[in-house]
Amino acid sequence: MTNSDRQDNLTAAEVDHKVYICLYGRGSFRISPSLKTFIKKKIETPDLTHIYLNMNDCEGMDSTFMGVLAGLACLIKARPQLCFQLTHLSKKNEDLLITLGVNRVLDYHRASDTENPELRPQPQLELSIETNSKITAETSLEAHQNLANIDAKNRLEFKSVIELLQADLDQLNGE
């Protein structure tokens, strides 16, 4: 199967108080709501110690996905007993994080890091991808607001995107 034939998806496994998530394809607005919902639910698990997002098979990321990662990282940092890390991050994807300043709020290991443990347990479940347009719009708006909050240059870059997303959401809410 070629990369263009493969659909973007997420799989997850939970082993010894640790959650392992694997991303296949692109990290995008399409899968962001599902990732956010899944992780927010998991961080309420009292004895959970780690959440690892394996980026080895990630072909790229859009701004919504990076904004969701930034929001989750900030949320999880308020829980000192819990560690959230991206693993097996390519140089290309690291550069994307750096471009928007997400690298400043997110812990990650590059694919070439020698101390990086092999984090590839057998996936136990495939996360369903959220298709509700209102939830997708809410997630995209919040993600871009997260990006605007972590770096001043993002405020200017995403100002019109945030306004458009807010207008879309207002319309979906019948306002």
Phi, psi of 80 (to 5 degrees): -60, -20
Identify the pLDDT of residue 4.
Answer: 42
- Is 163 a domain residue? no
Domain interval for residue 100: 9-129
- Is 106 a domain residue? yes
47-60 pLDDT per residue, tens: 999 999 999 999 99
80 contacts: CB under 8 Å, gap ≥ 6 = none
- Is 155 a domain residue? no
Which DSSP category does 103 fall into? Answer: G
- Is 140 a domain residue? no
CATH number at residue 86: 3.30.750.24
Identify the pLDDT of residue 130.
Answer: 66
- Is 115 a domain residue? yes
Number of separate domains in the chain: 1
Joined together, the tokens standing for residue 168 give: 């879309």
- Is 158 a domain residue? no
- The span from the CA of 34 to the CA of 131, in Å, is 9
* pTM attached to this predicted model: 0.86
How many CB atoms are closer than 10 A to CB 26?
Answer: 16
The parts of the chain modelled with pLDDT lower than 50 are: 1-5, 115-116, 118
How many CB atoms are closer than 10 A to CB 126?
Answer: 12
- The span from the CA of 81 to the CA of 124, in Å, is 24
Identify the pLDDT of residue 40.
Answer: 94
Please report the sign of the dihedral spanned by the C-alpha atoms of residue 115, residue 67, residue 96, residue 61: positive
CA 59 centroid distance within chain: 14
- Is 78 a domain residue? yes
Identify the pLDDT of residue 115.
Answer: 47
- Is 96 a domain residue? yes
